[in-house]
Structure 1
Amino acid sequence: MQIYQHIAILIKQAVDVELIEPGDQIYVRNQILHLLQLESFPESAIEAEDNSIPNSLEKVIGFAVEQGVIDDVFDDKEILAAKIMNCFVARPSEVNRIFNEKYAQSPEDATDYFYKLSKNSNYIQMNRIKKNIHYKADTEYGAMEITINLSKPEKDPEQIKRERTMKKDVHYPKCVLCIENEGYAGRTGYPARSNHRVIRVPLLGEYWYLQYSPYVYYNEHSILLAEEHRDMKIDKEAFGRLLAFVEKFPHYFIGSNADLPIVGGSILSHDHYQAGRYEFAMTNTKDSFTFALNGFGDVFAAVLKWPLSVIRLKSAHKDQLLDAASHVLNTWKNYSDEEVDIKAFSNETPHNTITPIARIRDGVYELDLVLRNNRTTDEHPLGIFHPHADVHHIKKENIGLIEVMGLAVLPARLKDELEEIKRFLLGKLANVNSYHQEWANHIKNTYGQQSDTTEADLIVQKELGAKFSRVLEDAGVFKQNKTGKEAFKRFIDTINHHHNRS
């Protein structure tokens, strides 16, 4: 009988959060019965207690495994969970119709509706995201945010075995961002997307598609993807799309990963941006210094006080801002300054590009241009402007858009490893990883042995924030010292000089 109660609770919750209307209940119930290979539903009244949709869904999936409807394998459970939730979600055309209807009232109403839908349909994995460790750590650059990423589920041994033996050489959808994922059931080694919906957004003569990230790292963490499966590209047109997007959604920022390996994100094969309703440490950081841009009298320009090298351009005139940003990009793409290890090309291979971020603040357009370079050397085989070897014990992965703005996404291994460092700090028997030992010694030498657990916690958090600042400083092309500032000013002179000549 319990399964019928779980189904009833799930349906009641869906009505409560307005995922479905009361008139949809029998239809949805019958769809779910079929997916669970059940043929009838008892007539006796079932008391529906309160719970959350993800919890009820887990219980229903648990039943399906017990009854042998599906195997106890990660992908099979994901596929069935998405199919069950799809019973509650309207068709794409209807979701888009409601979104546009609400957009006519206000852009915020539209995104509120879609964010709520994406959470309630369990497309955004709220239960898993809750597992992440998240806090702010004060640094010289402001309050950096640290996330230890525990939301991605561990794959079970059977899942890993299946992926090795059963993973098909299928190229549909071409990648996890393609529009063909909408409603795709999934398969071994490819995510379940039955309950996935995207919003069509016209931008500069093309359609782009808005969705939320299934594992949001910040409020309303969204992805805007190109209709066509094509490589990431940072150019004037990309800047134009970013500004066109914030005109449509002025309560969101939007940014792009860089378009070169090492400095780009994990997916460079599909043109996409990331957006959301959130203020990062970088959003509110101070100017290091301001400067004039020749030929762009209506554009305010500043270098930010930030570990990465960022030029912030602001203007009420969108076209002039775009021309200025494009000029900075083109100058940077061809810029070398060997005194600070910057080379634009190795033979034909380009090294310089930009991570851009756009927003509208107080009615003024803003573009942050983060200068990036992906050159490698024997001394720094993973990248000169990439986390160096001495910070790999914290982060070895690429510095993508989210990290650039001051939110660290750190590997799950750190959860237990940091606990051992705390024990070490408290003078208890601790098993500190060899790659953390030097850091742990430094912390203990700086603060002394601790007796209070809370204090030890705060110390490790603060030191992790400082270490993350160091990670970002490694990725900055012009360092935060006298040499770096002088080199930055040489680049700015080049921007202005080139404009004079043209």
Structure 2
Amino acid sequence: MMNYQISRLINFGLQKGLIETDDVEYSVNMLLDVLQLDSFEFFKIEEELATAVPILEEMLEYSVNKGIINNSVTEKDLFDTRIMNCIMPRPNEVVNNFTSLYEKEGANSATDYFYNLSIASNYIRKTRTDKNIFFTYDSDYGEIEITINISKPEKDPKEILKSKNIVSTGYPKCALCKENVGFKGDFNRAARQTHRIIPIKLDNEEYYLQYSPYVYYNEHCIVLNKEHIPMKIDIETISKLFSFVEQFPHYMIGSNADLPVVGGSILSHDHFQGGRYIFPIENAKIMYSVKLEKYPSTSVELLKWPLSTIRLSSDKKKEVLELSEKILEKWKNYSNIDLNIINKTDEVRHNTITPIVRYENGKYIIYLTLRNNRTSEDYPFGIFHPHESLHHIKKENIGLIEVMGLAILPARLKTELELLGKCLLGQEDINKHESLEKHYDWYKDLKNKDFNENNVKEFIEEETAKIFVKALDDCGVFKLDETGSKAFIEFVESI
């Protein structure tokens, strides 16, 4: 009975602070409209749920049976977002609550409220993200973290066909634009009726804070420019990153590089990514320290990390910014043909930086990871990109999150690695599985290593992590051999 499920959802909304008592009748009527019902009778509900998913599942089953929607993952996701919108606070109310908590109780309380709201509203589908696979690997660089992201449901062929028939309107311009708040979605784009954003100022420029619906790590947030303008890495960008951590010192924040191959998935919209998380790069050992006379208060450290990274730390923001700008400009114009580093071809720039910042114990800390996106005949995907022999595990760009040592591996690997384990144990024939063709050379190598029925899962996870570390090694511009390390040190000391 839908009246009972509506009563449950209203009770959930009240408990989670999504609605207040004065909103009840309004929310009920919205739900009746969405579910195509004509009357309502309240049921007394006494339950506490962590998420609304059990209620939504009942409502979705009813809607499929009544022919309101088709029984497909995408239609269900579009529809349950419409349902949750019926018990959502308006955007202005969320902004006011956030601002009030920030002013009265501080940044921690404000982000706690916003993050919990994002989970309660099912904007962050926690029951899905909790299913993501996570494991760690002790590499030569320290602990590396591996995730296999299965929180994005795969479309079936019928849905893919429907998505091809969707005519693009150009609104919103991209998945990050502020116009996504309340957007209904379609077979190509996720519904965003439960999406909320918080206006913030970074160096007096207008940005918005939101959470990622896929939360690759704890409180994974996105900070997006009010305007749809391309990403750019310069000293103003770095200054904005510091402006953010001054306002939210419990978060780190960083930016993808601003060039294809080494950049993120959406280079057309200026944005950053942050969160409440300690990444492996932050625990990396120091390979070399440099003392710069002009910057006596600033620590300059070259990290023992697969991607060439310089860490600056100082209680003087001006020094860190000035030195960051010098390193950035020096790198943009740097070439070393012996190491395959060429900064420009045919007026096309190849060198850029991935910056990551924190504000901790009164110190401004920045990690500057040097990137180069040049391709060649031997490496058409990128000279400093995961090489083709590793593409069976990792083919996608190595972006900000993975630069920091957290792998985001594709969902296909869950079933492929499970099946590969059975092949290694002789329970399946690899030649009979098309999905494993790409892994065949790797499989032959694994067959000669030490594993057994009791540890095959952990064995494959460790070998997968080794492949990811090799992918990171491929992306390092200064390799950590004698020649590369010497050139890296000379590059920094030349400043």
TM > 0.5 fold call: yes
SS in structure 1 opposite 2:188? coil
TM-score with structure 1 setting the length: 0.94
Q: CA deviation at 1:480?
A: 1.4
- In structure 1, the residue corresponding to 2:448 is in which secondary structure? helix
1:174-195 alpha-carbon deviations (Å, 9 max, x no partner): 1110011111222342221111
After superposition, where does 1:60-75 map in structure 2 within 5 Å? 60-75=59-74
Partner amino acid, structure 1, of 2:382: G
Instruction: Give the TM-score taking structure 2 as reference length.
Output: 0.95
Change (3 A) 1:49 1:250: closer
What is the aligned partner in structure 2 of residue 488 from structure 1?
488
> Aligned equivalents of 1:294 and 1:356: distance in 2?
24
Counterpart in 2 of 1:136? 136
Select between 354-363 and 288-297 the one with higher mean Cα deviation: 288-297
Does structure 2 conserve the Cα–Cα contact (< 8 Å) formed by 1:92 and 1:197? yes
Aligned to 1:282, the other structure's residue is in SS state helix
Using the alignment, how far apart are the partners of 1:424 and 1:171 within structure 2? 47
Alpha-carbon distance between aligned partners in 2 of 1:420 and 1:156, rounded to the nearest angstrom = 21
1:31-66 Cα shifts (integer Å, max 9, x gaps): 1111111011135x4555554312311321222222
SS at 2:281 equivalent: coil
- Residues 32-431 of structure 1: matches in 2 within 5 Å? 32-42=31-41, 45=43, 51=49, 52-104=51-103, 105-165=105-165, 167-431=166-430
Instruction: Specify the alignment match of 1:451 in structure 2.
Output: 453
Is residue 9–residue 50 contact of structure 1 (8 Å, CA) maintained in 2? no
- C-alpha distance in 2 between matches for 1:47 and 1:151: 30
Q: CA deviation at 1:159?
A: 2.1
* Correspondence for 2:8: 9
Aligned residue for 2:440?
437
Relative to structure 1, is the Cα distance of residues 244 and 159 closer, same or farther in structure 2, using a 3 angstrom cutoff?
same
The residue that corresponds to 1:499 in the other structure is: none
Q: Which runs of 5+ in 1 are unaligned?
A: 497-502
Q: Distance in 2 between matches of 1:159 and 1:451?
A: 39
Match of 1:477 in 2: 477
Q: Quote the Cα distance in structure 1 between the aligned partners of 2:173 and 2:231.
A: 15
Displacement of 1:73: 4.4
What amino acid is the match of 1:463? E
| SS of 1:416 mapped into structure 2 | helix
Q: Secondary structure at the match of 2:283?
A: coil
**Aligned partner of 1:185: which letter?**
K
Q: Which amino acid aligns with 2:300?
A: A
After superposing the two structures, state which structure 1 stretch, 185-194 or 468-477, moved more: 185-194
CA contact (8 A) 2:144 2:406 kept: yes
CA shift for structure 1 position 458: 1.6
Amino acid at match of 2:17: E
AA at the equivalent of 1:468: F
Report if aligned partners of 2:11, 2:45 keep a CA contact under 8 Å in 1.
no
Aligned residues: 489
Unaligned runs of 5+ in 2: none
Distance in 2, Cα, partners of 1:168 & 1:451: 51
Deviation at 1:21, TM superposition (A): 2.6
Percent identity over paired residues: 47
Q: SS at the partner of 1:254? A: strand
Distance 1:466 1:72 in 2: 40
Q: Name the CA distance, whole Å, in 1 between partners of 2:480 and 2:64.
A: 56
Select between 329-338 and 183-192 the one with higher mean Cα deviation: 183-192
Contact 2:256–2:355 under 8 Å retained in 1: yes
1:270: how far off? 0.1
Q: Which amino acid aligns with 1:461?
A: E
Q: Secondary structure at the match of 1:20?
A: coil
User: Separation in 2 of the partners of 1:293 and 1:225?
Assistant: 35
1:403-461 CA-partner distances (Å, limit 9, x unpaired) = 111111111121122113322343433427233233233333231x4131xx2222212
Q: Distance in 1 between matches of 2:57 and 2:142?
A: 40
3-state SS, counterpart of residue 214 of structure 1: coil
Distance 2:208 2:353 in 1: 23
